Structure 1
Amino acid sequence: MTMFRWIALTALGVALALPFTRSVVAAEFADTLDQPAIQVEKALQGIFTGLATAGPRLVAVGQRGHIFYSDDAGGHWQQARVPVSSDLVAVYFPSHRQGWAVGHDGVVLHSSDAGQSWIRQFDGRQVGPSMLAHYQRLAAAQPSDIDLQARVVEARHMNEEGADKPFLDVWFENDRVGYIVGAFNLIFRTEDGGQTWTPWLDRTENPGALNLYALRPVGNDLFIVGEQGLVLKLDPATQRFNATSLPYKGTFFGITGKPGAVLVFGLRGTAYRSVDGGGNWSKVELGLPLSITASALTADGRILLLSQAGHVLVSNDDGASFKQQPHNGLAPVAAAQVSAAGSLVLAGAHGLRQLPLE
């Protein structure tokens, strides 16, 4: 089973065989959904898998529910108050103060103070019941719809399996409208800032229920990437995510780009670029056989790709070609952001660090 978008990365090798399990404290059988993240300074040296900007602030999320924030471009970090100790995978702020983080156990957290404190809005205990109620309602209104009947069966299975449903990425269009995606084609949408979440599994062209690793807009288009070369694009008219055609059938971990040029990247140094909104794709030769696990954009318009080992690849031509920046203390990378000060801030298996950009 393919590993979730670099989640468990204890050694950051994009290991591809970890089962989906819920962690518990063995001694007391305490559920991580019920245990707040421990406040401990040494957590800064732990595994971090997500980074976001909240205005000038940087916010990082990682293992055991740890969330840290920095107001000096990554020079110093403070730990946030978090109500769960589930592993967190991704974080996004559509505005300076409003942000969301997602992770294992179907956790969805919300912050209204730029990442200093968080509340739980949704979790894996609610995923199955939410899906079941939604698709039973739709199927009752359209009893001849075979696909909806199948969704009811699928939702029942999800409900029976429990809370171990990881969400792997989150993106919000504004403070009200957003999406979360995850394993087995999990996708939910909210229109009220996360107060309620609506299943959208029937709105993706993903019959194999492949894992969805990332979603991001490029220009006016919203894309999702996943396993087996899956690249989906939202059709605003039908409100469905339709598959685009690529010659590559390996896993994609992320999406980046600028208006007029979108890139998807993943295993073994693979990257594809489209300049027509995903209609056609061409391979970008990176000259690096390692998986690409993160990306970032600079203020002057450069596109950065980062490998699982920490190589930094820089494009000055909207992703048509990349040049490798000289090595500077290579270390595993899961997420990257360019700070307001212009330095590259990295999250990975060795904690959080800064890297100068040439």
Structure 2
Amino acid sequence: MFSHRLPSLALALWALAALPAAFVQAPALDYPIAADKVLLLDLEKAGERLVAVGERGVVLYSDDQGQGWHSLRTPVTRTLTAVAFATGQEGAAVGHGGALLHTGDGGLHWQAVEADTGGESLLGVTAMGGKRMVAWGAFGLYLESDDGGASWQRRMILGEDFDRHIAQILNAQGQWLLVGESGTLARSLDQGQTWEAMESPYQGSFFGALQTRDGTLLAYGMRGNLWRSVDQGQSWNKIETATTLAINGSLQQDNGRILALGNGGIVLASDDDGATFRAINGSTKANLAQGVQLSNGQTLAVGDRGVTSLARLVIAKGAKS
């Protein structure tokens, strides 16, 4: 099963937690993995630490704003597609073959978690507030956790016949939004207890979604498709992107700029809450999966060439590229 983060690529391819941080050391890897020579599909913050996940169960972490990276052994060898943290210490990583991992020390140590996945691939995980987390994946697979990812319960959503791959779920100002394969759009108004399908403007696959600070929803995916809603998903407008490359991830920077990241190193920028986007030319040709802005203002992305700095692409708001 392929990852929604980089669809074209993937087809080709508790004891220590309570100790003071100074005494916690990550397990040694048999061989180090260079941060620029590994397929990475997600990157998240655990407090001030950066944690990235990718192929063969690889976890990389950095405690110096991405200047140096350390690779970790995990209990799985399947590709990890996503990582999320409910707190600065407690989080989960998910992946192919139903792989589920839990950490209680900010990503330094990981334990395998059993759950009813049927061996289907998990494509995403996110924190929904407190210790609530949700994970999702292929053929409608949907899991919930109330303890920061230490245990998971499978639930059926959108009926017995729902079998579309779920690409992302996000908490959009109290409304949970789901996007996925074949133009799937759904929402929950009761924090995931019940779900209802929404009319979709698009029959191709969505690979992700973002809610901006102003409440605007963006959904994106195959062949450069990007859609915008200013009414909580009741109606959508297609946004011109001038690309047919897949858009895989997105983020909003501290200055309000929205970046959409995709295959072929494409980076699209918007300074008007997603109403228009333009390409920012960069030197990287890496297929980009996801990005994050650091406390020092730098923006990093991950993809098929590991960790990539987008420093050259983050120009001043309103300046010409």
Q: Contact 1:206 / 1:243 at 8 angstroms: preserved in 2?
A: no
Match of 2:287 among 305, 328, 332: 332
In 1, the alpha carbon distance for the partners of 2:275 and 2:241 equals 10
**Which segments of structure 1 move beyond 3 Å, counting only runs of 4 or more?**
6-9, 36-39, 205-208
Query: In the alignment, what sits opposite 2:171?
Result: 217
Percent same amino acid among aligned pairs?
A: 34
The structure-2 alpha-carbon separation of the partners of 1:206 and 1:273, relative to structure 1 and needing over 3 Å to count, comes to farther
User: 3-state SS of the aligned residue for 1:72?
Assistant: coil
> Following TM superposition, by how much is the alpha carbon of 1:238 offset from its aligned partner in structure 2, in angstroms?
7.8
Q: Contact 1:54 / 1:97 at 8 angstroms: preserved in 2?
A: yes
Q: Contact 1:37 / 1:83 at 8 angstroms: preserved in 2?
A: no
Q: TM-score, normalised by structure 2?
A: 0.86
Matched, 1:89 2:81: yes
In 2, the alpha carbon distance for the partners of 1:5 and 1:171 equals 15
User: What is the RMSD of the two structures over their aligned residues, measured on CA atoms?
Assistant: 2.3
Matched, 1:73 2:72: no
In 2, the alpha carbon distance for the partners of 1:280 and 1:251 equals 17
Select the structure of larger CA radius of gyration: 1
Match of 2:32 among 18, 41, 58: 41
Q: Deviations over 1:180-210 (max 9, x none)?
A: 1010000011223334322222x22583411
Q: TM-score, normalised by structure 1?
A: 0.77
Q: Contact 2:216 / 2:230 at 8 angstroms: preserved in 1?
A: yes
The structure-2 alpha-carbon separation of the partners of 1:195 and 1:67, relative to structure 1 and needing over 3 Å to count, comes to closer
Query: In the alignment, what sits opposite 2:242?
Result: 287
In 2, the alpha carbon distance for the partners of 1:246 and 1:309 equals 27
Query: In the alignment, what sits opposite 2:3?
Result: 4
Match of 1:321 among 276, 283, 304: 276
Query: In the alignment, what sits opposite 2:210?
Result: 256
In 2, the alpha carbon distance for the partners of 1:313 and 1:66 equals 28
In 1, the alpha carbon distance for the partners of 2:73 and 2:110 equals 6
Query: In the alignment, what sits opposite 1:155?
Result: none
Amino acid at match of 1:322: F
Amino acid at match of 1:5: H
Which runs of 5 or more residues in structure 2 are unaligned?
14-26, 316-321
Q: Contact 1:39 / 1:79 at 8 angstroms: preserved in 2?
A: no
Size of the alignment, in residue pairs? 298
Matched, 1:112 2:104: yes
Query: In the alignment, what sits opposite 1:102?
Result: 94
> Following TM superposition, by how much is the alpha carbon of 1:109 offset from its aligned partner in structure 2, in angstroms?
0.9
> Following TM superposition, by how much is the alpha carbon of 1:327 offset from its aligned partner in structure 2, in angstroms?
2.1
> Following TM superposition, by how much is the alpha carbon of 1:347 offset from its aligned partner in structure 2, in angstroms?
0.9
